[in-house]
Structure 1
Amino acid sequence: MATDDPHKGRKSLARNFAHLFGARLVTHVGRGLYIVVVARFLGPELYAILAFVHAWYMAFFPLAVFGLMGTLAREVGRRGSESKAIIGQSLSVSIIANISAALLCVLTAWTFNDKPEIVALLGIMTIALTGRALASFTDHVFTAVEQSQYVLKHEAIFRSIEIALGIAALFLGAGLLGVVAVHALVWWLHAWRGFYVMRKVMGGSIALSTKYHEWQPIALMAVPFLLASVFTNLLLQAPIILFKSASADTIATGNFAIAVQLLLLAVALPQTLSSAALPIMSRAAARGDGKDALFLSVVIRTAFMVGCTGGLVGTTVGPWLIPLVFGPSYTDAGLVLGPLLWCIIPLMIVFTLPPALYAREANKGAVLASAAGVIVLVVTTSTLVGSLELRGGILALASALSVTATLLLYISTQKRLISLTHDALKPGAAAAASAAAYYASQETVGVSQIPALLIGMTTLAALTVATKVVRPNELSAARRFIRQRFGQ
């Protein structure tokens, strides 16, 4: 359970992070392999439909879970002795939200899609939505009460089952319908198992709060988390939906979907880190010991280094690696992979800063920042896709994420959570200089891409140390950690 002891809090964060990172790693490695098989088997046109219906139902997912992850983490972290009551109240809110989201998903699918096959697929995806939301509720409970090993176990079990059954369905000729049906079935199995284990963890059944005045406070507390998660989720799911609406080229839509999903696979770590850290950041904010600010500083500086590395490596290997892995029909996805992976920088910021703002009860700023990004995405996608096709979709997504990330950095600076110069401007300058070195070495000196990549990465490492983006004491701590773990 939650604890206010700082030492135990650090151990709890490490344990929670290890379990959640393991779960995320299992999920994303499995999902990555599954995407390869499904994309090659279906081809870009059918894969575009699968990506579209998946993005559509996931757009309603935040409403189905109603921001309860943040609420559970914060309230259980603060009032651990009342965990069972908090979970019961949250479950009542979850059921109401889940039913509402399912109805909206079905109604909008029927209203805005004129192809019966897509409506039918979205109907099955609505079943997946309800099961996934219930499974996620149990995962949120396990995370909040710091029993996240069950998240890892369940992800390993049920994602493996989905991959095995999905591939079997494809080879048996079930096609797109079979893949979608398996997806829905496995999420319901996951939910059933999650509630069974949750009952054991909590020492008995969780009583639903049937009286409005009992669960209303939890619902109201969840609203800021809901709004922020709705807008943040739209930044991730809406690009594929908007691209399909703006482009008549289904092959281009399939290529765009693959590129975006590879980006989301690349940011599994910050998603996990922010989820695991929220209960501990809530207690750190309450103590006022500055540990949440230190955590944010490290993650934001890391974002620039990881994003720069991903962008340069993706530009170098994407054009030949993606067609090799997914097939020649996805050549265009390889061409835009490098520019898209630069979006790791704003995405890591978008995932990491809002939980810290929630912990300090600065919810409004996080919501407004995400909403601004969604507005930019909606306004720019149609125009940019119409004129630039695939690259236009990438540019629209990058613009939207950058607007949200910039606003979050500004708000966090105002709240004295980060140092704008040290945490953002210096690493941003180092990343920009590294990119300039990469491209200039090819254009001016005429070196090939691999040597240019080495030049760019060397520039990044040198500037990171020279400008003290990474402080000497942090390097020493990293060396000590490596010696302790691998020195034997």
Structure 2
Amino acid sequence: MNQGWVSYLPAFLKKRVEGRQELQKVLNNTGWLFGDRLLRMGVGLFVGIWIARYLGPAQYGLLSYAASLVAVFSAIAILGLEGVVIREVVRSPEREQEILGTVFTLRLAAGLFAYLLTMVTVFLLRPTDHLTQMLVGIMGSVLVFGAFDTIDLWFQSKVLSRYVVYAKNAAFILVSALRLALVLLKAPLWTFAAANAAEIGLGAVGLVYVYRANSQRLGSWRITLDRARNLLAASWPLVLSGIVFMVYLRIDQIMLGQMADAHEVGVYASAVKIAEIWFFIPTAIVSSVFPNIVKAKENDEAEFYGRLQKVYNLLAFLGYAVAIPTTFLAGIVVFLFYGEAYASAAPMLVLLIWSDLFANLAVARNAFLMAMNWTRVLLLMVSVGAFVNIVLNYVLVPKYGGVGAAAASLISYWIAGHGACFLYKPLHRTGAMLTRALIYPRFW
């Protein structure tokens, strides 16, 4: 079906997409994901700035520490099944009810287990810090709600992400208004943790609604032990990869909290917040093109690698487009957004924004590994990056604080996303493709 928006494109772009239904579908889906992230970027940043200014670095640091601890265990809750489920539904649409039902059940059980592990961990790390324990206990509930993101995977497999945007943005806007009200009412810290949990809970309700609105029924889902065994067999390396990935994504804030103080965590978290605004770019692009990349692999190897190179080139270009201006404007951006109390976040932001470049490429490289079903290789790549990140944080944080943590992130992101490709011979070609993208990035 032709997309009406094509007629509004400039002539040089219109020629490229006219008559190409799959490309139009991908671009339309990407547009919805970009719109979703742009809304969240704008509203979320505005609300987040209010919260950070209201709470101050110390309290904001406690909230960020609790969120980071929960995030580390989120990989257990989702079971690394995203790419596996999308791949299986694309390949076997006649079995999607069995796939979805089994995945939901597995994720629900894993979410409960992850919540228990999170609480045990916070009591071990902070045995006398009752406030942090309460924050983690409240925010950890999102690990259970995450089971409903199984519905999101079905929409992704159909390249129909606009329905997910409807559901999750409704919850996001409602809770954003609630967060502003909490600031105006000078609410205590724990209420902001509760707002985070409420957003995920309302989003789950919204996903159920739009799924039913598309003539689908949760009651049609089926659970089979054979499917569960097959999914877990395919995903266990991804579960480990996800755990390791979240460790090296969030270990900086956890180690800062343990080795420095809440104030330093809060300052560092403000830099992370700005740097992570752009993470939606590779995620939205790769989420939309992944189904077609899988199809290309099955039909034409040359086309498969050609599409991958284009994605690498594009994401490298976008990474540079963000990193270069931010390098020169970091001090101004931090001061305008967060005020004088967070001024020391500027050098941290410069280092973190360059790590985004390698994070972009890692997202695309991971899509390649998923298409090849090289889940153990993915685990190796991420493990190397996580190990380097932990070691560098241990060495640099005591002396340099948040700047040291940012430097550790930059180096480890490069290793996990690019450098480690040269440690494994079958990935030398991928490493060369990524190098080509870094040297000669292209928008199209």
Do they fold alike, i.e. is TM over 0.5?
Answer: yes
Query: Given the alignment of the two structures, is residue 172 of structure 1 paired with residue 185 of structure 2, yes or no?
Result: yes
User: Is 2:252 the counterpart of 1:254?
Assistant: no
Q: Match for residue 62 of structure 2?
A: 49
Matches within 5 A, 1:121-136: 121-131=135-145, 133-136=146-149
1:186 aligns with 2:196: no
Q: Which amino acid is 2:28 matched to?
A: R
2:282 is equivalent to residue 281 of structure 1:
no
Corresponding position of 1:24: 37
Aligned to 2:373, the other structure's residue is in SS state coil
| Aligned counterparts of 2:24 and 2:428: Cα–Cα separation in 1 | 26
Counterpart in 2 of 1:414?
426
Residue 173 of structure 1 aligns to a residue whose secondary structure is coil
Q: Counterpart of 1:60 in 2: which secondary structure?
A: helix
The C-alpha deviation readout for 1:355-383, integer Å capped at 9, x for no partner, is 21111112221110001111111111021
The correspondence of residues 224-263 of structure 1 with structure 2, limited to 5 A, is: 224-248=237-261, 250-263=262-275
Aligned twin of 2:46: 33
Match of 1:455 in 2: none
> Which amino acid is 2:135 matched to?
L
Q: Which amino acid aligns with 1:341?
A: I
Q: 1:15 to 1:123 in 2, by over 3 A?
A: same
Q: Give, in whole Å, the separation in 2 of the partners of 1:342 and 1:353.
A: 18
For 2:140 and 2:189, locate their aligned partners in 1 and report how far apart those are by CA, in whole Å. 16
TM-score by length of 1: 0.81
Structure 2 vs 1, CA of residues 181 and 195 (structure 1 numbering), >3 Å: closer, same or farther?
same
Specify which of 93, 105, 120 is matched with residue 134 of structure 2: 120
Q: Which amino acid aligns with 1:340?
A: L
- Residue 165 (structure 2) pairs with residue 139 (structure 1): no
Structure 1: how far apart are the matches of 2:276 and 2:178?
23
Contact 2:319 2:356 (C-alpha < 8 Å) held by counterparts: yes
**One-letter amino acid of the counterpart of residue 162, structure 1:** V
1:366 and 2:378 are equivalent in the alignment: yes
Deviation of 1:408 after TM superposition, in Å, equals 5.4
Instruction: Identify if the C-alpha distance between structure 1 residues 344 and 412 changes in structure 2 by more than 3 Å, giving closer, same or farther.
Output: farther
Q: Tell whether the 8 Å contact from 2:100 to 2:222 is kept in structure 1 after alignment.
A: no
Is the Cα–Cα contact under 8 Å of residues 92 and 215 in structure 1 kept in the other structure? no
Counterpart in the other structure of 1:352: 364
Deviations 1:417-455 (A, max 9, x none): 6471xx4445545xxxxxxxxxxxxxxxxxxxxxxxxxx
Residue 107 (structure 1) aligns with: 120
1:305 aligns with 2:317: yes
Which is higher, the Rg of structure 1 or of structure 2?
Answer: 1
Give the superposition deviation at 1:263.
Answer: 1.4
Q: Which residue of 2 aligns with 1:321?
A: 333
Letter aligned with residue 36 of structure 1: I
Is the 1:67–1:226 Cα contact (8 Å) retained in structure 2?
yes
Contact 2:87 / 2:294 at 8 angstroms: preserved in 1? yes
For 2:284, which of 268, 272, 287 is the aligned residue?
272
Q: What is the alpha-carbon distance in structure 2 between the residues aligned to residue 353 and residue 398 of structure 1?
A: 17
Unaligned runs of 5+ in 1: 1-5, 430-463, 479-488
Question: In structure 2, the residue corresponding to 1:225 is in which secondary structure?
Answer: helix
Matched, 1:377 2:389: yes
Instruction: Give the Cα–Cα distance (whole angstroms) in 2 for the partners of residues 130 and 210 of structure 1.
Output: 18
Number of paired residues?
Answer: 425
Does 1 or 2 have the higher relative contact order (CA < 8 Å, sep 6+)? 2
Q: Aligned ranges for residues 65-76 of structure 1 at < 5 Å? A: 65-76=78-89
